[in-house]
Structure 1
Amino acid sequence: MSTGAERKLRGLKNRRRSILSSFACITEFTDNYQEKSDAMELPVRLDNLAALWTEFNSVQAELETLEDTDEAMDAYLSDRTEFEKRYYRTKDILMQFNNVSSRQQHMQNPQRESPSQMSCIKLPDVKLPVFNGQFESWLNFHDSFDSLVHSSTNLSTIQKFYYLRTSLAGEALKVIQTIPITSDQYAVAWKMLVDHFSNPRRLKRIYVQSLFEFSTIRRENASELHSLVEKFETNVRVLKQLGEHTEYWDVLLIHLLSTRLDPVSRRDWEEYAETLENVTFDEIVQFLQRRVNVLQSVVYQPAEVQQFNVKKNCIQRSGNIRTFQNAARECTACSG
């Protein structure tokens, strides 16, 4: 077996070990289940169990394709059969617990459930951001996840951990993939993620570099101009948030932004800038925002105005044709 295949095999075995570790936590939960303290975790445990089942089958299938001996294949098939038995047995226990808990909750409050009870039964209808490990997306993900999930007082710790796992992909998921999904491990997983991606020096370098990489607009376009100004200004705000004194970067920022403008907009900006004593970055942003508004108002015309203009053009063209024909007849008469 080649070195690459060996490395892949070792990685798959590590993933399977992580799956089995998380599965063992769920079976331990069923063994030590206490209705009063654990009932609220049942829906999340069931969802996580289903996710582990899917992931196990995927990893196991890859492992089986890499083995070329009958002995190894028999061992993998035996592992698959054993895991399947344990999965169905554990799922049955969790569903029984959940059914009993749901009936008791309904009996205690048959007409209406409080918001806290509802949050234990189903996941909130919130579109959570997905973070795949790109550093330039980290701050947006961190702030969104922190406000929607991490700082929420209506979610249990295990629910927060479930949301965290389902909100990660790619390199970001690999950071915490080996951590078992348990209540006491959520804080560990969140801290590992924050420590890994909250790297101010690297984030600053990425956002500074992006200021130099905006594409130049080829011709006047309200949409493209609005997008450029919005994204450029956002990068500057993020750098300020990271501790950079961007209020002293006026000359650099104005140069970088103005050189990305279309020729007409840049000419108009340079003419406007000549009228100012001290040109600041805020001045060019405000100028371009006003220009976007003007371009949008020029492009947009109500249907009635457009129809009027079409009719007006048609009348003008027909009038010109008749004038030309009359002139032609007069010239013929003059010529005798």
Structure 2
Amino acid sequence: MENSDTLLRDLKNRRKLIKASITRIENFVADPINLGSSPEMFAARRDRLTNIFKEYEEVQLNILSYDDKDVEDVGIIEDRYFNVMSKITSILKKLTQTDSMCTNVSNSKLPNIEIPSYDGRDFTKFKPFIDLFLAVIHNNSSLSDVQKLFYLRKSLTHDALSVIENLPLVNQSYKEALELLNKRFDNEARLISNHINIILELPCMQKGTAAAIRSFISGVQQQMYALKNLGQPVQHWDMLLISILTKKLDQYTNRAFQLDRDPNTLPTMVDFISFLERRAMALEDSGDKSSTITSNKSPTAHNKVSNIATTSNKSNKLCLFCQGTGHAIHGCPRFKLAALEDRLRATIRFCTKIIVLMRIMRNL
């Protein structure tokens, strides 16, 4: 009798341990953090859960053979088992699909990236060159250092190649080659000075056309972004830059900017670039075209009257300010952006033509 009680107690203790193991696996599967685990981790727990449940069934049968009044609800354990198994199966399916997609992407043929050569003459081009080289060649773990050195030498010409040309083609030379190139060309002070000089040496705008203004904006912004990436406080250089850049504008664009800005506040580079963008857009919308009328014969007085009358009647088609077609002078974008004295001069010229026309018509 004592042996039976001892065996029954041992079996029930064993059942508690099995149920605790099922609970641990159940908690592992339910924890979102573990969803990033490898498929092997979930497969191992699936196999472990299968073995544990078989052992649970055997232990439960032995307990019932000694105590047929045992109150254990086997149905609850079965439901937990099947619930956890279904979750593991679902997770394994998703992880397998993800691995398959990653494998397909990694095995797909991507277009070859060609590294442009660097000759060492323009210091501003070294950083883009070396960053691309490091990404494509240096970080390629399948290449040895001597192979990387070979590709590096192949990508250099002229002054840049002469820096590392005499290094022996061995593994140890690769790191030395990178150090020599960085020491020679990755000079931050020289890079900053170079970008500033490009701004100072921007060509003056001869004509304030839309294309010229957009080219000017592009040149300025490229150098400003480069200086900002080099850690320079370009956001505090507004008045300095504006003073330099306005001298490079044509007189009409410069005058229009001075009239457009608020004289009571200091202009910023954002305001300056925004003005140039608006002016370029207005010139593009107006067509920025000029038309001339030539004649081989000297016009008579009657012809002059006819020309003036025609111009007046078709003022909605020919602009007397920019000589463009498709709009009248009051709708001319260039007229609106012009300086006040230019607009007054154009208005007087237009009114004078009307007065002359009226006098001629009165004398006919």
TM-score by length of 2: 0.45
Flag the structure with larger Rg.
Answer: 2
More helix by share: 1
